[in-house]
């Protein structure tokens, strides 16, 4: 099996984006629908426009739901974990570091009284998030390379940067 090279996959893209920066602007999508809208505790989200994969969504028991499917907070944690994981993998590949094991665990803490409108001084949203990344590289990998990997992978994580510096979000209701 041919070894996958991030460098080879990106070399033409990097040249193209340098020449025509506007081509580097991409748009990601997700959409809900396809489930009975009268059910207050269940939904379904389809990431990627036309991606063909739908994920069931539930409501956390802390706000009265059955919590029988991932809730939106779980999906946010999943997005951060997935982005950190792929950032580590890609940077390791670029640096020539052979990973033996990789595990990313994200935890988010929220006081749901804010979302339930119970107390005005309690914010709606997570108060904290932690991301623990366990990396095991091939024996003999220099510690300075592992440090370089960690710094570069954190710098490249789009979801983490989005959470740290949130973009303007515009919501339009069509009734």
- At 2, the pLDDT band (50, 70, 90 cuts) reads low
Give me the pLDDT at residue 50, please.
76
Residue 51 inside a domain? The answer is no
Please tell me the distance from the alpha carbon of residue 139 to that of residue 97, in angstroms, as a whole number: 10
89, 102 Cβ separation under 8 angstroms: yes
Is 45's pLDDT higher than 70? yes
φ, ψ (nearest 5 deg) of residue 55? -120, 125
Residue 37 inside a domain? The answer is no
Residue 90 inside a domain? The answer is yes
Which residue in this structure is represented by tokens 């426009």?
A: 49
Buried b (16+ CB within 10 A) or exposed e, 150-164: eebbbebbebbeebe
Task: Check the CA dihedral 150-76-129-62 and report its sign.
Answer: negative
Give me the pLDDT at residue 4, please.
84
Please tell me the distance from the alpha carbon of residue 153 to that of residue 157, in angstroms, as a whole number: 6
Q: Per the structure, how many domains does the chain have? A: 1
> What confidence tens digit (pLDDT) does each residue in 111-163 have?
999 999 999 999 999 999 999 999 999 999 999 999 999 999 999 999 999 99
Cα 19–chain centre separation: 29
Mark residue 50 as left, alpha or beta (left: phi above 0; alpha: psi -120 to 50; beta: remaining): left
Q: Which domain holds residue 150?
A: 71-166
Residue 130 inside a domain? The answer is yes
Residue 21 inside a domain? The answer is no
H or E stretch covering 109: strand 99-110
Residue 118 inside a domain? The answer is yes
Give me the pLDDT at residue 3, please.
79
Give me the pLDDT at residue 1, please.
63
Is 34's pLDDT higher than 70? yes
86, 51 Cβ separation under 8 angstroms: no
Residue 100 inside a domain? The answer is yes
CATH number at residue 118: 3.30.300.20
Is residue 93 helix, strand or coil?
helix
């Amino acid at each position: 099996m041919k070894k996958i090279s991030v460098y080879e996959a990106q070399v033409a893209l990097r040249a193209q984006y340098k020449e025509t920066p506007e081509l580097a602007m991409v748009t990601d999508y997700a959409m809900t629908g396809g489930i009975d809208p009268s059910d207050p505790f269940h939904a379904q989200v389809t990431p990627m426009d036309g991606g063909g994969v739908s994920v069931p969504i539930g409501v956390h028991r802390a706000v009265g739901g059955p919590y029988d499917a991932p809730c939106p907070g779980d999906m946010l944690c999943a997005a951060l974990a997935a982005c950190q994981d792929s950032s580590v993998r890609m940077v390791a590949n670029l640096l020539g570091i052979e990973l033996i094991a990789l595990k990313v665990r994200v935890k988010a803490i929220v006081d749901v009284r804010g979302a339930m409108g119970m107390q005005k001084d309690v914010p709606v949203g997570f108060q904290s998030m932690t991301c623990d990344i366990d990396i095991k590289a091939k024996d003999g990998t220099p510690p300075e390379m592992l440090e370089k990997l960690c710094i570069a992978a954190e710098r490249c994580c789009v979801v983490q940067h989005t959470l740290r510096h949130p973009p303007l979000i515009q919501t339009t209701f069509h009734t």
